[in-house]
Each structure stands twice: as C-alpha cells, then as structure tokens.
Amino acid sequence: MGRTVQVTFPPLYPKQYEAIFSPARYSLTEAGTKTGKTLGCAIWMVSEAWANDTHDDVSWWVAPIYAQAELGFNRMKSLLPPDLIKTSDSRLSIVLPTGASIFCKSGEKSDNLFGAAVKRAVVDEASRLREESWFALRTTLTQKRGRVRFIGNPKGKRNWFWRWCQLAKAGQDPEAAYFHLRTLDNPHVSREEVERARLELPPSVFEELYEGLAQEDGAGVFRNIRACVGECLMSPRTGRVYLAGLDLARLQDYTVLTIMDAVTRQVVHIERFNELSWNLQVERVKTAVKRYNDAMVMFDATGIGDPIYDQLVTAGVRVQPYRLYGEAKNQLIEALSIVFEQKRIVIPPDRQLIHELESYEYELTDQGRVKYHAPEGVGMHDDMVISLALVNLLCERSGYLEPTERSFSTALLQDYNIQVVPSGIEYAVQQDLQRFLARRHESRQLVEVE
C-alpha cells in the first residue's frame, strides 16, 4: 500500500506568488536582488513537476553559468525529503517519486540545450543568458508546449530579456505576462540593509540591483558623464593646489597620470603612455607632477607596489600608495560615481576616457557582493578610470572645498592654522574639518537660541 507524504514549502509572499505562479505560458519577472526569484521558482518547479504525476515529465532549470545552475539544483534539493528523491550531484539532476525528472543546466554553450521534450523551464538570471541559449531552449518546448518562468535582475537595455519584458509589459505578447518586484517587496529582507546599500552604491547600480529598473546604458556605474565634460586642460598656475592619480601599466595596459585642481575639481592634465621601462615611467611622472606645483600623487600599489613606491620617493615625488583589493576598490569607484552623480567634477572631452567611463561595469558575485571592472575583451582598458578615481579620492580626502565654499575653506585654514604640509595634509585637514564643522554647528545653535 502506498504511503502519503506531505511536503510543505515556505509560503510565497503575495507579489512573489502572483509572478511565479502566473497562469501565463511565459512569465517574465524583472526584479531586484533577493526578491525570492530563485526560491519561488524552485518551489514552482518541484511542485508542478510532482503534481503532473507522470514519469515522462521533464523540467529544465537553465542559468547563464554552471555555478548558478548549481544554486538552483541545491535549492530544489533542499526543499525535498532526501529519502524520496534520487539525485546526481555531477549531472545536477533530481528524480521525483513520480518518475518526473529535473535537470539543471548551464547556458554557456547553447549546444547543451537541444534535444529533450521539456514540459517546464526556469531561466534564472535571464538578462545575463546568451540569446542563442534561449533559442535552443525554445526548441525543446515545442513538443509539449512547455511553460517557462524567466527571472532576473535587469542588466541594461541591450539584451533580449529586456526587449521581451517591454513587449510583455505593453501587452503585445499574448503568451507572456510581465511582473516587477523590488527588493523591499520581500518581507524577509531587512529594510535597514537595503537603505544602507542605497547610500553606498552608485544610484544606477542601486536601481538595477534593488529596484529592478534597467538603466540606460548597459554598464551604468557612472551617470552624467557627458554633463561633466568641459574644456578644462590647462597649464599649471601659481598658487593652485594640484593633486594626481597614477595607475601604472601592467602587462597589456597603459600608465595613466591624471592631475586635478584640488579646489575646482577640474582635470587639468592627463598623460597616457605604454611600453616604457619603470625608470622612464618614474621620470615622466616626476616631470609632470613637479611642473604642477609638486602635486601629491595617489597611486595604485596593488601587486607591483613597493619597489616602485621606493623609486618614486627617491625621485622626490610625494606619493600615497593605495591598494585596490576588494572593499578598497569598491570605495574608490563609488566615490568617483558620487562626484559624477552630483556633477562635482570636470573632465576633458577625451574619447578614451569617456569610453572607459561609459563602458565600466559592475557585477553581482555569487556571494552577493558588487564587483566593478572594465568589460572583458580585447582593447578594453580601465587605467584612465582608475587613475581618475585615485585623484578624485585624494581630492575628497584632502578636504579642499568647492569653489562656492572657498571663503569657508579659507576660514577653516585660518581658524586652525593648518599648514598644507606635504604628506600630512590628508589627515590634518580631515580631522580639523570634522572639528571645525562640529564647532560651526554649535555656534549656529547658539545663535538660534538667542
């Protein structure tokens, strides 16, 4: 006699249920991260497969890369009692007691996605799946009029998923239904955590990752780039404070030195060169920074670090090393994205620089961390971005203020008798700025009381 087993799944929150259990043949869900797309679809797939109760029921879970297919596999496996199912960790397959089978597949090669007669499929991270892989999957659905849940974080507007979402949203595809979920829609996500991400991330990145809204250009780490372009390159002037950012060439790329006016935040000078010996690079950097009133340089000291640092110091260049590991790199890029967002920077109409800024990308790692980088591919560089980001960070940390607040800046310098001393400026000005701001706040309150 057969026994009855009850398998319970976590209840979906209403918007999640509506999207994933939509009766439409194709449901397209454009959503923020952690909205429960993967969990919701895992529940959909195993419950529908089980309910169908036939041994020739085949389901496919397709993700852009193998590691993501594995996430889907592990989610579904964890929902089911282990003694009732047969699984293969190497094939990423699950067989239910009804005989129905589920396979999790990587979409890296579309050739792997032909063949079976698929009854239902999930396409996870759809905006990142190659279009040919969707075409291949489509052929497997014909025999059984298979249904599909497409779920994903938007990734710009240059992909098939985004285009199809537009059609479905406009009601122009009778077989497709469109849904949109924000991270804050998921009651199981901490509000505080989302608000923190809103403050930390570049706004365009936050909008894609948390609001589920596709941004204008695919990459979209920096906004307002063109609004920040102006004629700003100029020769050094006496009395101005200049700061510099230096990204040294590695194997394939360029050395870039960017010099900025610390107060007006105009990029006044850029040098980009390659195929030079270290000695010549140091010489060239030295000549430029000396010319610009002995500008202090923040340089990327990751990897090649120390010997070059010593060489620069010996050459009399005032340097601050910065190591671009993990969180430090994120902070560097996020600080640059903020000044573009607020239009507090002026860059020259340099085609290479604008191209690098516009194509700069972010990705969400499997651990849920944001990672920034230049797009992969021949001829893609990020040396100009990194060099600019370094000088920008140096400007921000040095506490030189905007032109509109110049009088305040002078007051600050007088109040605390701050000397602009070579290597000490960063911390001296920072600390005193804090104290000054605190005091200014106090005195204002006193005035109000009177």
Ligand X SMILES: Nc1ncnc2c1ncn2[C@@H]1O[C@H](COP(=O)(O)OP(=O)(O)O)[C@@H](O)[C@H]1O
By the criterion CB under 6 A, which residues form the site for ligand X? 10, 12-13, 16, 33-39, 186, 188
**What's the closest the beta carbon of residue 67 comes to ligand X, in angstroms?**
14
For the record, the structure tokens of 29 come out as: 């869900």
For the record, the structure tokens of 88 come out as: 């293969």
Tell which residue, 276, 279, 321, has the closest CA to residue 302.
321
User: Which is closer to Mg ion, CB of 175 or CB of 366?
Assistant: 366
For the record, the structure tokens of 188 come out as: 């199981």
User: Which is closer to Mg ion, CB of 38 or CB of 311?
Assistant: 38
C-alpha span between 362 and 342 (Å, rounded): 20
For the record, the structure tokens of 424 come out as: 């000490």
Rounded to 5 degrees, what are φ and ψ at 321? -75, 150
User: Which is closer to ligand X, CB of 37 or CB of 105?
Assistant: 37
**What's the closest the beta carbon of residue 75 comes to ligand X, in angstroms?**
7
C-alpha span between 152 and 129 (Å, rounded): 10
**What's the closest the beta carbon of residue 333 comes to ligand X, in angstroms?**
23
329 binds, among Mg ion, ligand X, none (CB under 5 to 8 A by kind): none
**What's the closest the beta carbon of residue 105 comes to Mg ion, in angstroms?**
16
Instruction: Sheet with 296-300: list strands edge to edge.
Output: 267-273, 255-261, 242-247, 296-300, 319-322
Helix axes 305-314, 278-291, angle to 10 degrees: 50
Which residues, other chains included, contact 222 with Cβ-Cβ below 8 Å and sequence gap of 6+?
202, 204, 336, 337, 340, 357, 358, 360
User: Which is closer to Mg ion, CB of 38 or CB of 387?
Assistant: 38
**What's the closest the beta carbon of residue 16 comes to Mg ion, in angstroms?**
12
177 neighbors 24 (Cβ within 8 angstroms):
yes
21 alpha carbon, distance to own chain's centre: 30
Specify burial of residue 217 (Cβ count, 10 A radius: 0-12, 13-18, 19+): middle
User: Which is closer to ligand X, CB of 162 or CB of 210?
Assistant: 210
Q: Which residues bind Mg ion (CB under 5 A)?
A: 38
76 neighbors 46 (Cβ within 8 angstroms):
yes
C-alpha span between 199 and 279 (Å, rounded): 42
User: Which is closer to ligand X, CB of 33 or CB of 387?
Assistant: 33
Which residues, other chains included, contact 205 with Cβ-Cβ below 8 Å and sequence gap of 6+?
220, 221, 337, 362, 370
**What's the closest the beta carbon of residue 412 comes to ligand X, in angstroms?**
46
**What's the closest the beta carbon of residue 82 comes to ligand X, in angstroms?**
19
C-alpha span between 136 and 62 (Å, rounded): 11
User: Which is closer to ligand X, CB of 185 or CB of 261?
Assistant: 185
User: Which is closer to ligand X, CB of 39 or CB of 374?
Assistant: 39
154 neighbors 30 (Cβ within 8 angstroms):
yes
User: Which is closer to ligand X, CB of 55 or CB of 369?
Assistant: 369
C-alpha span between 112 and 114 (Å, rounded): 6
**What's the closest the beta carbon of residue 31 comes to Mg ion, in angstroms?**
9
309 binds, among ligand X, Mg ion, none (CB under 5 to 8 A by kind): none
**What's the closest the beta carbon of residue 27 comes to ligand X, in angstroms?**
14
**What's the closest the beta carbon of residue 39 comes to ligand X, in angstroms?**
3
C-alpha span between 100 and 59 (Å, rounded): 8
**What's the closest the beta carbon of residue 164 comes to ligand X, in angstroms?**
19
33 binds, among Mg ion, ligand X, none (CB under 5 to 8 A by kind): ligand X
User: Which is closer to Mg ion, CB of 79 or CB of 394?
Assistant: 79
At 310, the amino acid letter reads: D
C-alpha span between 250 and 107 (Å, rounded): 33
Instruction: Give me the residue whose beta carbon is nearest to Mg ion.
Output: 38
Tell me the residue length of the chain: 450
User: Which is closer to ligand X, CB of 36 or CB of 146?
Assistant: 36
C-alpha span between 58 and 99 (Å, rounded): 9
Instruction: Give me the residue whose beta carbon is nearest to ligand X.
Output: 36
